[in-house]
Structures are given as structure tokens and as C-alpha cells.
Amino acid sequence: MHLLIDNSNTLTKFALDVGGALSEWRAVIPTSDLSKTSIQDTLRNQNFERVTLCSVVPDASALMKVTFDQPIHHISHQSKMPITIEYPNPSKIGADRLANASAAILGRQGPAIVIDFGTAVTFDVISKAGSYLGGVIAPGTASLRDYLHQKTALLPAIQLEEPNSAIGRSTEEAMQVGAVIGYRGLIREILNEVRRELGGEPKIFATGGDAELISKGIYDIDIIDQDLTMKGIQAIGASNH
């Protein structure tokens, strides 16, 4: 039994690897609510022998290390991974991006591109030879959704959903068009340029909270997999414990 932790800026997700397969059990704690008590309460009925942590929040990483008695592996560029790294400063690559890149070539060859719709949207690029080359970081959908409401007096807060038309018939509809259709344009243009420079026919993955919604209008995306990061954490953990 192997505990997998995906600690991002917004949410911290927990899963179990049972004999090499992800179990159906999942748990989530808002990262702002993490404490030794909240973690122990969440995991009270779960038994596991080791922990693999994928974290982009240094304070949370430190908390995890004093919470568990089991051996814990913290994913970094020094971990054994299915990928190699061709990047000028590997220590600056986020652990989540290494996990995503690793998952993208499990059981297959590169090239590949992973788009992760999180607090920020990230693109991670893997070469035909299976090397991590770099990527792109852009504002996440929450940034577009919330910024106008926070910075203007009359524009409301909205929830992202598919617009009925490209011509908004209310303030909320107009904001939906900008946030959803406009965001697809941003993703599509970045993807086009990355594919042009990478060459070949990369397999394109999407994961993260808004992957389903935004990917509806981007037909180049091959696979939407909300477990992609966990699969990468699982693979890296198996190689390092």
C-alpha cells in the first residue's frame, strides 16, 4: 500500500496505489486548510507503508515530512523517472510537471505535450527520445474568471460554463465568452507554436480542473486524463522507494 500525494497551490489530493493500481479511494483537502490534524483525520482509516509526495508548496512539503512516520519520497529532478531531462536548470522544474511528463510516456514513446489546467495552466514538452525539454506557464482560468470581478465595480463573479453563443446577451454571458472561448484561443495558439517547434506528431494530453470544459473546443487534444498526475507520482514513487 503506497500513499500518493499531489500537493498544489489550491488543492491537496490523496490516492492509494494498491499493488500497482490506483484504488478508487480518493481524498482532497484545500491546501490552505492543511495541518497535521487535517491530514491525519483524512487518512485515519487508510493503511499504507510508504508515501510519495509531489509538492509545489514548500511549507506544505515541510508539514508532510513531520506528519508521516512511513518512508517518504519527495519528487524532484533528482528522482529516478521514466524521463530524462534536457533543461538548463532542472531544480526549477515543478514536481507536478515532472510527474505529468513521466505519465505521458508510460507504455509509449514521445513526443508528447501535457496541458495541465490548474491554478496556472502549464504545457510540458517531451521529445521523441523521452526527454523533458521545457514548456509554457500561462494564467489559469481562475485568473481570467476572477480578475475582472475583483478589479471592476460592476462586473460580477461568474462560474465557468459553456457559452450558448459567441455573442453574449448579458454581462455574465459576455464574460463567459471571453473566459471560455477566449481562453481556448490562448491554448490553441500556444499549442500550435509548441507543436511547430517540437516537430513530429506528439500525443497531446490534458488534465486538471478545467480540462474537460476547455478541451471541448480544441480538437488536437488526444487524451483527457484527470489521473495523469497521480499516475506519474505512482510511477516515480515505485522507482524510488
- What are the residue numbers of the active site? 96
- Are 144 and 182 in contact by the 8 Å Cβ rule? The answer is yes
H-helix or E-strand spanning residue 148? helix 141-151
Could you tell me which of 123, 40, 39, 134 has the C-alpha nearest to residue 89?
A: 134
Q: DSSP 3-state assignment of 118?
A: coil
Q: For residue 92, what is the DSSP state?
A: G
**Cell numbers standing for residue 103:** 505519465
Per-residue CA distances from 13 to 6, 68, 97, 148, 196 (Å)? 5, 16, 16, 29, 34
Helix-then-strand count for the chain, H and E: 8, 11
